[in-house]
Amino acid sequence: MSDTSVFMNSIIAGAVAIGAAVFLYTQSTSSTGSAEDGPGPNLEITVSGEASGRIVIDLDQDHAPKHVAQIVRLAQQGAFDNVVFHRVIDGFMAQTGDVQFGKAGGDLSLAGTGGSELPNIPAEFSDVPFLRGTVGMARANDPDSANSQFFIMFAPGDFLNGKYTVIGHVIEGMEVVDRIKRGDPDLNGAIADGKPDVMTRVVVRD
């Protein structure tokens, strides 16, 4: 085979590789939630720990008005301040929002089992899919048992679609989400050393 043939084959191979990379990149970003700021209020979360930084969530009051209203009310009360990410599963999601049992510096043995003093919220399931960066409400087996806990998706989770209420999506700080301290898979995502990352301050912005 001549040097010219080798050169041409190298060019073709390189073009194919670039095309494949572009395709894979397009496919991966298509599974990420919109980063656009919608009409709803924003939830601004300051995180300390391994994931030091700021996360901004655009709340979807069109699809989940009752859930968004409760999250906004709790944030305005300061209820989420110093609440830990008590359950973090690599490749799945980071869960927080237990204002009853999830406060940093306290006994976290019951973190994930509590809620708030406000009543539980009726389900507001929608056709909004669970993509990377989607924020959903945690609940027990009862579809109408969501209260204060929520989770942020590391990756798409089609199996959650239509079964959990979507309340928004991350529009800033997804790199901070990616750094949130992971839990132990054998402990259902609980933080083994008892030192989870913390939402030090949570505020609502228009």
pLDDT, averaged in runs of 10, over the chain (206 residues): 42 42 40 72 98 98 98 98 98 98 96 98 98 98 98 98 98 98 97 96 95
Q: What is the pLDDT of residue 33?
A: 60
Nearest C-alpha neighbor of 151 from the set 68, 79, 66, 93: 93
Residues 63 and 5 in one domain: no
Q: What is the pLDDT of residue 107?
A: 95
DSSP 8-state symbol, 22: H
Give me the sign of the Cα torsion angle 77, 197, 205, 64: negative
Question: Does residue 2 lie within any of the structural domains?
Answer: yes
Q: What is the pLDDT of residue 52?
A: 97
22: containing domain: 1-30
In contact, 136 and 160? CB cutoff 8 Å:
yes
Residues 72 and 144 in one domain: yes
Residues 26 and 94 in one domain: no
